[in-house]
Amino acid sequence: MSLARLGAAAILAAACGLPRDPEGTLDRVDHGVMRVGVVHAPPWVVDSAGEVGGVEAQLVLSLARELGARVEWVRAPEARLLESLHDRGVDLVLAGLTADTPWAKKVALTRPYYTDTAAFGAVPGAARPEPREERHVLAAPPGENAWLVRVERALHAREREVPAMLRAAAR
């Protein structure tokens, strides 16, 4: 009986288009302004001569086109940008972040749009460190789930184009 009621509630909820944003970020960005924090991190984010490019910027620009939104780039140190996500000072942060960032609990990370393996930071004289799996993500304000879902959908739709973007950037 209660299960049936629960099922009915779930179907009803599905009809309402879950999830929703507590603070209405998606509604605000839609045909509005998308404030995107960027940190120069090639090839993911390339900030040169006043132009923001790179893989993540391209992905976000195509999302902005879909939403009919104007992108406002916000340049600041990574920690400052991620911090301001908590108060919704920016709507997204692009910084070549990976899923294992220590910020994972403080912000909403998207699901990975690209995974590669890389090894960094060999100690001089020591053996090369084991290559690690790098799952690349964007950061969004925590709890703005309609917005997060919308961003993830856009990323998922363009996942296959990422390797080509990377090759183009390497050239």
Binding site for another protein (CB under 8 A): 2-3, 6, 9-10, 13-14, 16, 18-22, 105, 107-111, 140, 142-146, 148-149, 152-153, 156
Beta bridge partners of 45: 41
Instruction: Name the minimum Å distance from CB 83 to another protein.
Output: 14
CA-to-CA distance for 91 and 121, rounded, in angstroms?
31
Instruction: Name the minimum Å distance from CB 100 to another protein.
Output: 14
- Helix intervals (H) in 16-130: 25-29, 55-67, 78-85
CB nearer to another protein: pick between 73 and 88 = 88
CB nearer to another protein: pick between 55 and 140 = 140
Q: 17-41 burial string, b = 16+ CB within 10 Å, else e?
A: eeeebeeebbebbeeeebbbbbbeb
Instruction: Name the minimum Å distance from CB 26 to another protein.
Output: 11
CB nearer to another protein: pick between 116 and 159 = 159
Instruction: Name the minimum Å distance from CB 50 to another protein.
Output: 32
Helix (H, G, I), strand (E, B) or coil at 29: helix
Asked if 71 contacts 31 with a C-beta cutoff of 8 angstroms, the reply is: no
CB nearer to another protein: pick between 76 and 103 = 103
Q: What is each CA distance from 4 to 8, 12, 30, 128, 136, in whole angstroms?
A: 6, 12, 36, 58, 40
Asked if 73 contacts 38 with a C-beta cutoff of 8 angstroms, the reply is: yes
CB nearer to another protein: pick between 14 and 123 = 14
Instruction: Name the minimum Å distance from CB 24 to another protein.
Output: 8
